[in-house]
Structure formats: structure tokens, C-alpha cells
Structure 1
């Protein structure tokens, strides 16, 4: 019988964020398999600003904090901590993590956690390692966080180095991240992002209803689903592509300013063929994908995206859709399944080729490739490495 674990998962994304990341997917699937999971919402990385979005988030945080731990499904609980968001100050960090340590130990005792695995996404929480009676510690490195805007860069890099030296296992989602982390921790595994294949493959179902707000749009829809932030997306490129192709509809689904509240989309607002539909529920995303003729990844090429493996790539492929993207390094192995554009001219030509595509074989290749990269097989491998590490520790005693 396989060992059942009690996971304390320290996330950088809140559980109720409508766009699920690897954090929520992994937590849910671990719980579905009978492991118990305490999911810890994001403590935030950047310092809040005086704006409506940040004030709303602070109010929401305080409200959730007063509710304690909430059971979201069988075997899965969520806690939303409140900290003083001055991460560059060492004394403040010590106070924050002492409070978190006491709270998490209290919740662990309440839930009768025994076989504890500490699974960390936020490097700033490295002081918690060794303080929660865990048998093993995992660092799941999914982004180069220090390359995001507004981050306490010096502190993040210092804390991540300490974390890498402390943890038992590191999972890195891009080859760039793998190469840099492996130099510090030999137990680093390349573990690229995957997709919820069965969910996004629903976009191919003839019974799936297309949303009303897309039914009224005539002509091709070139779509994007995800965070709409200026450090991720190349707005100048999008603007020039949209102007070059007035007969195409460019539809963006997602929260504007996710991770970067100062994001400004004014240059795109007045373009008649560009529409921002806001965030949609995870359950409804396949129905929007169904109406897309081409999917976009119009990313900037910078230090952040160099280390990023976009989860939405395999989600697009699961729907059988042609994908046009800027030359993201993490996706080099899959260039044969998509179209590449580096500027407005080549990107526009790539969209045209994608729209004129008439080959069931390439569609099927995309679907089959996405099928290989699903959450269940990925979690199998992760649990196997955890089992191996714990067994080795026992043998070494």
C-alpha cells in the first residue's frame, strides 16, 4: 500500500483565484488521491500600493484570515495568512514567520498531521523549513520570481539560495530554472508544467455551448487566456498585429494587472478589433477556447519569460488549437507543433498560416502531445521521488 502524506503547501497563489496554476492543481489532485493537504494562500511578494486592487485584496485577506482554516473538499483545507508586507526588513520577516510557524503547527495538530511534507513555492518562507515537524521538504520552483516587477529582489535571491541549500527536493518547471538551481541542490528535477487534459479537451465536444458574448462576433477569433500584465505580454506587438489585421478579432480573457497592478492597456483599448472580456471561471474556459480559431502567446522576451514554461501551452494543445507565439525558450522542443512570430510582420504571417491550416494530422499530433503531459502522470513522478527520498533517509539512519 502506497504511503499517504500530509502536505503543507505554501503557495504564491490564492486558492480562490479563478485562473488555476500548478499550485491548485497539485493540491487538489493530492487530496483526491487520499493525501491530506493544508493549502496556504499567498503571503504576497511585492509591497502593496495605494490603489483599488491592492486595497480590495487586503480587505479580502483580512476577512479570510478571520475564518481560520476552511475545508474546501475531502482531505483539503485552506488557510489565508496575514503578514506585514515589508519583506526586505529582516526583523519584520522574523516576526511574520514566527507567527506563521505557530499557526501552522497549531493547525497541523488540529488536523492530526503526522507524515508531513512541506511543499514550498515562495522562497521567502524558507525560515519555516525544519519548524513544522516535516519529514521532507520540497521547493517547487515555477518562475524566476525576482524578475517580476516590484519584487524585493535582493531578499528574494538571498532567501532562495538558503532555501535551495535546505530542502530535500527541488522541482524546476523550465530548463533555465533547472540549470541554475541544480548548481546549488543536486536533488533538482526538471518538471515542466502540464495541463488538465480532460478539462481542456472538452473544447472539441460538439455538445459544448459557445458563450453568448462570443456568438455575436463574426470573423476569426485570435484568443488569449491568462494573466494580462505588461511584464508578461508584449502590448506593442499586440497593437501592431491588431492594426495590421483589422478583419481579425483579438480576444483576451483574464485579469488585467495580475501580478502587476500598474499594467496599462490604454494603447489597446481604442482598437475596435481588440476585446478584453475579463476573468472567467475555470469551468467555463473550454467553451471560450472552442470558439477560438487561433490561440496566442504574445509574450515579451525578458528574464522572467526566459524562465517561464506557460501552462496554457498544453491547455491550448489539448483543445487541438493552432498556437502562435513569440520564441519562448522553454517551448523550443515543441516548435514543430506551433507557429513562431518575432515581430508584427512575422506574427501576422504566422496567424494567417494557422488560420489556413487544413490538416487533421497536425491537430491530432497536438492533442496526443498534450495528453502525454497531464497532471496525473506528473504527480506520480513527484510522489515517487518523495518516496525514494524518505526511504533513503530511513536507510541512512
Structure 2
């Protein structure tokens, strides 16, 4: 009988993260209590943070519904699996003091214990994607601890870096298994309990031909597209220069835009489509001329392994990217550029290419199902 899971992750139901992809598949054979985000930073008195804090305080404790108010860049219509219970806890986000940590732990234990007891979990494993959950390890009846590290938290914008670094140090010492989503993250943890688990891809979703999205520009021009978080880790100087050089192209951006992304709309050939559901994305990425990965060069990007890379490749369209370590595995299928002139040349080269079955084959074996099968075997020996 497989052991069940208590998972501390982001809010369930937004843009499907690697954790959600994996846990969705693990829940086929394991019961899961999923705890929505307990935070990585102390809130400020901005309108966004006040609204988020109010939602956290007033949300019902458990739900089987998908959240529609997620602040993430893409929405999701993915339903909650039958074997998974979602909990919306009230807590103190990322408390620094010893007293604050004790209070937050007590609050979470009081809310979660009756839910876990009703779920009748079998010998549960506590899984966390958030270092701030380390204090809960010995509070909920779990005897094994898994740390899934998908980001370099020391470089994430908006994170209370000192607090999170301290929690991560504790977590690494206590974890029975550490899962690193990229080579860069894997090298941070020099112990035998660390395993590399790169991101997978929903290959069928992105490779099986999808109907062209109705709001994708269709005026005969070639189109370059991007979907995801339109945040400050995109190179907007590079994008603005490239867009200016290529008035004969359309540029499409899908996601919730930051102020810098909104500035792209100054160009007549730019369309900002806003957030889209995950299952809708192939209707765009299969039908534009080239997919973009225009990242800046910083510590966060050097440690990342973006899910959209494999999704882009599975869609079969040319991929144009700035350099970052995770791209190296697919160098034969990606045009890596360093300037606006290079990006323009790569896009012009991609304009009339047909779908590339070789690049699709390169990711066809790296599905989320395959990743979950590997992960199941590791969990079974904890």
C-alpha cells in the first residue's frame, strides 16, 4: 500500500506548476492533502497584499473547486482530483521571530490536524515546495520529509530572503529526499539524498494538433509568441529593440503583464492577450511562427528550468531564446541569441519552417507521467 501525502505548495488551481503536475499523477495511487501557500514573504500594505491576506483569512478550510482568482500569470480550468483535498489555511506568512514561528505552527496544526485525521492518511509523507513549511514536519504525523526545490529562492523577487534561507537550511538537514528541478539547483545540495528531477511535459496536449485560437492575429504576417509570467525576468529592452526592427511581424504575449510588459503595447504590431487557460495554449503555440524565451541573465534564470521550454518544443514550432543553462540540453533545437539583431535574424529564418518532428521527439519521452513513475519509485523506498 502506497504512502499518502501532505503537500505544502502554491495555491492549487492557478498555472499548473511542476508540483501540481507531479502531485496530480501521484494522487492516482495516493491520498493527498494539499495545503495552499503559506507564503515566502511578509506582506506589505499594498492593495494586492491586503486582498490576498483577506482571501487567506476568509477562505473556507477545504475545497474541491479550482481557484479562479489566482495572481499567477495563467488561469487553469483543471479540476481537483478525487483523491486530493485542498486546504486554505489562515497563518502568519514567513514569520521571522521564534515566537512568530511557534504561533504560525500552532495555527496550522490546529487547522490541519482534524482534516488529516478525517482523510485517514496511510503513513503520510510530508512534501513541501516551500522552505517555510519546515516547522510543520513533526506536527502532522508524517515520518518522512521530501523537499521539492524548483527555484533558487535566494534570488526570487519579493521573497524574504534571510528568513527563507534559514528555513531552507533547516529543511535540507531534515529532508529524507531532496528533489532538484534543474542541474543548477542540484549542484547546490551536496548530499546523497538529492536527486535530479527535471520538469516534464504534457506531450499529448501540446503535440496533438489543436484548433487555431480565434484571437491569435491572422493577417498574413508571421507571428512570434510568448506565454507565461510577464514579469521583470523578461528582457524588455531586447524585446522592444527586436519589435522595432520587425514591423512586418506580429508579436503576441499571453499572461498577466507587469508595467514593463504593458509598455510593449506602444508598438502597433504587439498584442497583449492577457491570461489564458493551460489547455488553451496549444491553440496559440502550434500556430504562431516562433516561440520566444527572452529572459534576462540573472541568478533566478540561471537556476530555472522553465516548463514552457518543453511545451514549446512539443508544439513543433521554432524556439528562439536568450542563453540560460537549462537550454543546453536542447541546443540542437533552439536558436540561442544575444542581441536584437540576432533575434530578428533567427525569427526571419523561422518564418516559413514547417512543424519540426525531430524537436518533438526530443521531448516525447520526458512526459509528466514518466517523471511521476520515477518519483513513485523513490517515494516507495523512503
Fold shared, TM-score > 0.5 on shorter chain: yes
Partner of 1:393: none
How far apart, in 1, do the equivalents of 2:216 and 2:299 lie?
35
Partner of 1:196: 202
Partner of 1:14: 11
CA RMSD of aligned residues (A): 1.8
> Deviation at 1:68?
3.0
Does residue 186 (structure 1) correspond to residue 188 (structure 2)? The answer is: no
1:334 to 330, 333, 343: 330
Does residue 40 (structure 1) correspond to residue 41 (structure 2)? The answer is: no
**Paired residues of 2:126 and 2:146 also in contact (CA < 8 A):** yes
2:312 to 312, 316, 324: 316
> Deviation at 1:224?
0.6
Does residue 90 (structure 1) correspond to residue 98 (structure 2)? The answer is: yes
Q: Secondary structure at the match of 1:227?
A: coil
Q: Specify which structure has the higher proportion of helix.
A: 1
**Paired residues of 2:22 and 2:372 also in contact (CA < 8 A):** yes
**Paired residues of 2:289 and 2:352 also in contact (CA < 8 A):** no
Please give the TM-score of this superposition, normalised by the length of structure 2. 0.91
How far apart, in 2, do the equivalents of 1:286 and 1:97 lie?
42
Matches within 5 A, 1:70-89: 70=64, 72-85=80-93, 87-89=95-97
Partner of 1:223: 225
Matches within 5 A, 1:144-223: 144-181=152-189, 183=190, 185-202=191-208, 205=209, 208-223=210-225
How far apart, in 1, do the equivalents of 2:219 and 2:167 lie?
49
Over residues 150-173 of structure 1, what are the superposed CA-to-partner deviations in whole Å (9 max), with x where a residue is unaligned? 211111111101100101001101
Unmatched tracts of structure 1, length 5 or more: 258-262, 390-397
**Paired residues of 1:70 and 1:79 also in contact (CA < 8 A):** no
Does residue 377 (structure 1) correspond to residue 373 (structure 2)? The answer is: no
**Paired residues of 2:255 and 2:273 also in contact (CA < 8 A):** yes
Unmatched tracts of structure 2, length 5 or more: 66-79
How far apart, in 2, do the equivalents of 1:155 and 1:67 lie?
26
How far apart, in 2, do the equivalents of 1:368 and 1:274 lie?
32
Over residues 310-351 of structure 1, what are the superposed CA-to-partner deviations in whole Å (9 max), with x where a residue is unaligned? 111111111111111111112212111111011111122122
Partner of 1:297: 293
Partner of 1:347: 343
What stretches of structure 1 move > 6 A for 4+ residues in a row?
none
Over residues 103-146 of structure 1, what are the superposed CA-to-partner deviations in whole Å (9 max), with x where a residue is unaligned? 22221101111220111100011111222221321100000012
Please give the TM-score of this superposition, normalised by the length of structure 1. 0.88
How far apart, in 2, do the equivalents of 1:218 and 1:101 lie?
58
Does residue 287 (structure 1) correspond to residue 280 (structure 2)? The answer is: no
